[in-house]
Amino acid sequence: MSRELAKTYEPKGMEDRIYQKWMDKKYFHAEADRSRKPFTIVMPPPNVTGQLHMGHALDNTMQDILIRYKRMQGYNALWQPGTDHAAIATEVKVIEKLKEQGIDKDEIGREEFLKHAWAWKEEYGGKIINQLKKLGSSADWDRERFTMDEGCSKAVEEVFIKLYEKGYIYKGSRIINWCPVCQTSISDAEVEHVDQDGHFWHINYPIVGEEGRFVEIATTRPETLLGDTAVAVNPEDERYQDLVGKMLKLPLTDREIPVVADAYVDKEFGTGCVKITPAHDPNDFEVGKRHSLPEINVMNDDASINELGGKYAGMGRYEARKAIVRDLEELGLLVKVEPHTHNVGTHDRCKTTVEPMVKQQWFVKMEEMAKPAIEALKNHTLNFVPERFDKIYLHWLENIRDWCISRQLWWGHRIPAYYCDECGEIVVAKEMPEKCPKCGCTHLTQDEDTLDTWFSSALWPFSTLGWPEKTEDLDYFFPTDVLVTGYDIIFFWVIRMVFSSLEQTGESPFHHVLIHGLVRDSQGRKMSKSLGNGIDPLEIIDKYGADALRLTLITGNAPGNDMRFYMERVESSRNFANKVWNASRFIMMNLEKAEVPKEMDAQLLTGADKWILSKVNTLAKDVTENMDKYELGIAVQKVYDFIWEEFCDWYIEMVKPRLYNDEDTTKAAALWTLKTVLVNALKLLHPYMPFVTEEIFCTLQTEEESIMVSAWPEFTEAWDFASDEFAVEMIKAAVRGIRNVRAEMNVPPSKKANVFVVSESEEIREIFENGKVFFATLGYANEVSVQEDKAGIADDAVSAVIPKAVIYMPFAELVDIEKEIERLKKEETRLTKELARVNGMLGNEKFVSKAPAAKIEEEKEKLKKYSEMMVQVKERLAQLT
């Protein structure tokens, strides 16, 4: 390979070329190998309908950083990728596409619809995978899986049958989330709670047999009144104790309902009387069970009122609401209406308000399976990073409800349950039975429903490795090491994977769960289509390169915390890549100047060489410690600061005099150090910025074919040069002091002066003697004199004080005295005028009595400032004249 980098850093084209090389070389691929230690990450499968967004970019960048780091450390690293069939989202897309072609889903039937769905998946399903490749994701694409591929489908069927036979899966009527638009049950994970402006309608329910006496309830959903089967009060509420057991006339119906006592009711909230509608509210459903109340579902699947709703039958839920409120008002039963903002569940796909409904569905019993999942966290076989997410995980598991797993969709895993057409017997099996085991009938029908998408993704960490077969991959790569995911998905997916894995394999699916926050816009708002504030990661990659995007997403990132995305930071990341590129080009151009040995005798190294080696050595130790604690943001900040400041701004400037002096015998040591430190710094940066580091690494040297498969830097005692670090830090302090003095005096860099280092300490004097060659360059010195006292130094010399030494520079060499006197006199004249003006204003009684206090304060501040400046100017003039 050519040993020359392109003149300018251009990520476009370069990144695609490098990624293709990695793919061709199979660097991402892992096979079970008992001689090596495995490290496994399972990719949270993006939806097959998906388009890369900033959340994906962050999530996958973090996973890629960890997998590249472990690969370099010598682990047999597997990043297992794949996609999720995304039942509802995909079905909606396919229906939309068919509509455009004038095809109705119901008319073509299930089998034909599924052919279209699979065709859609083949055409569009790989889009997000190609986008993840653009990001630099080094997942093992040879192993790519899909939640509905043959192996994953087999695992789903196996688990369903096992849980059913164990009594953990059952079919029953319970309250579920129902989407009236998609016309399917949906999981809690797909319900988004949003604040909506609504009302509290206060309604009087007449007490039977007590003319003129009522119970006042308040509701946000008057239409559900048609399904009320009781009114509840708190048993300790003295106001209503005499009502418990009495009957109420349910308005607008011919039914009577009881008053029941239940601790669920909050005495302080509303009127303290709560209408109970078991078929349309999850809390009411539980109250209903406790009091054996009937469940009356008054809605059709499209949320219109059904035949049980009397005169309101056929009306949409909101149309019925208006009619009911109007009728209550006419009957004099509407007490009042109050505005009320409340939290409403909406379907995250279509944004429709979800309707809680009692329906016949398939459920998983959760109580027993939750226990081992709780224990896994408590005994630390499962660990959250950061730990504060333990509480959320436990809270959810300790309050878990049975899980509704059936969906009224065609795209997905069809439930392996068969019904006898004759006697209704249910048979759960892999194949349709030839005859009913109960009555012998040969006509059976398979359940129409499919399984919740989360049911299959709950098996993802082990189904992707071959379970239920006892494969070598499963035995070697499972349990996985870390799962990286956002905090918004802990309950739904992480918990389901944990209890499913413990139930099916007896092991936690991963040791650590690394939680990240959301990527918000620069104002801190969530990125969304409605706000139009989303930023397309692919556009950033196209303009700035994947490396710049990745560095931006990780810089300042702390586990569990949200981050704000600023375009200025992308620019800054791109500038950093540019800095690394240009520094590398400089080093490569100089490498031809001397024979650089593979190994270097430490005795041939200068103090500056040892300092930078010692720095990069400590950096390797620190970064490794941070990476192992998943402190990815802290780790990359250390690498960034080291490369930009220590290496580029200091060390490269220190060695330039040696590189440009043909007589310098330490040139080879300088070049060896430059190359060695650059290689180590590139390796530490590689997991974060894989492309630019690969291009430089492969151009810089030919011993290793890729930085991806090179060894991660480790701390070595041989490079621990504490005294040399102290020496160079001392010189850096002196250089900073000189630069500050010169800046205060407006001395241009081109103006050089003699520099005197005065110290009583022999150790300090020796440090500056040894560092003269670069100290002169960095301190803009003609000549450097190191001495024990002030002998021979002009009285007017300016000074900078550092620990155990003072740096002097003759004033006359820094400043043209005649010009400086002229400048100071002009400044004196200007300040005299300003002081006269301010004193005049503050001495004017009219001004002081009428001017705003802030204006008077401002003028007083000016007086103070100008007075101080005048003292300094006069002192300087006195010195010079």
Enter the DSSP assignment of 543: H
Residue type, 180: P
What pLDDT sits at residue 3?
63
Residue type, 122: E
What pLDDT sits at residue 92?
86
Residue 665 predicted with pLDDT over 70: yes
Nearest-CA neighbor of 285 among 176, 190, 407? Answer: 176
517: Cα within 13 Å, side-chain hemisphere: 21
**CB neighbours of 305 closer than 8 A, spacing ≥ 6?**
223, 226, 298, 299, 312, 313, 314, 315, 316, 317, 320
Q: Is 278 exposed, middle or buried (CB count within 10 Å of its CB: 0-12, 13-18, 19+)?
A: buried
What pLDDT sits at residue 1?
35
Calpha distance 294→290 (Å, rounded): 11
Q: What percent of the chain has pLDDT over 70?
A: 100
Q: Is 413 helix (H, G, I), strand (E, B) or coil?
A: coil
Q: Is 551 helix (H, G, I), strand (E, B) or coil?
A: helix
Model confidence pLDDT, tens digit, residues 669-700: 999 999 999 999 999 999 999 999 999 999 98
DSSP secondary structure string for all residues of 138-166: ---GGG-EETTSHHHHHHHHHHHHHHHHT
Token pair of 164 as six digits = 């059913």
Q: Between 3 and 552, where is the model more confident?
A: 552
Q: What percent of the chain has pLDDT over 90?
A: 69
Per-residue pLDDT, averaged over 353-368, amounts to 92
Instruction: Specify whether the backbone of 209 is left (phi greater than 0), alpha (psi in -120 to 50) or beta.
Output: left
Model confidence pLDDT, tens digit, residues 62-118: 999 999 999 999 999 999 999 999 988 899 889 989 999 999 988 999 999 999 999
Tokens 């900033």 locate to 54
Model confidence pLDDT, tens digit, residues 852-877: 888 999 999 999 989 988 887 888 78
Question: Model confidence at 814, in pLDDT bands (50, 70, 90)?
Answer: confident
**735 close to 742: Cβ distance less than 8 angstroms:** no
Mean pLDDT of the chain: 92
Residue 2 predicted with pLDDT over 60: no
What pLDDT sits at residue 560?
84
Model confidence pLDDT, tens digit, residues 276-332: 999 999 999 999 999 999 999 999 999 999 999 999 999 999 999 999 999 999 999
SS3 string of 342-390?
A: EEEEEECCCCCECEEEEEEEEEECCHHHHHHHHHHHHCCCCEEECCCHH
* 153-167, 186-200, 327-341, 692-706: the lowest-pLDDT one: 186-200
Calpha distance 566→572 (Å, rounded): 10
Starting at the edge strand found earlier in the chain, the sheet holding 247-249 runs: 247-249, 256-261, 230-233, 273-276
Residue type, 375: E
Residue 702 predicted with pLDDT over 70: no
Question: Model confidence at 156, in pLDDT bands (50, 70, 90)?
Answer: very high
Per-residue pLDDT, averaged over 491-506, amounts to 94
Per-residue pLDDT, averaged over 500-514, amounts to 97
Question: Model confidence at 270, in pLDDT bands (50, 70, 90)?
Answer: confident
What pLDDT sits at residue 878?
83
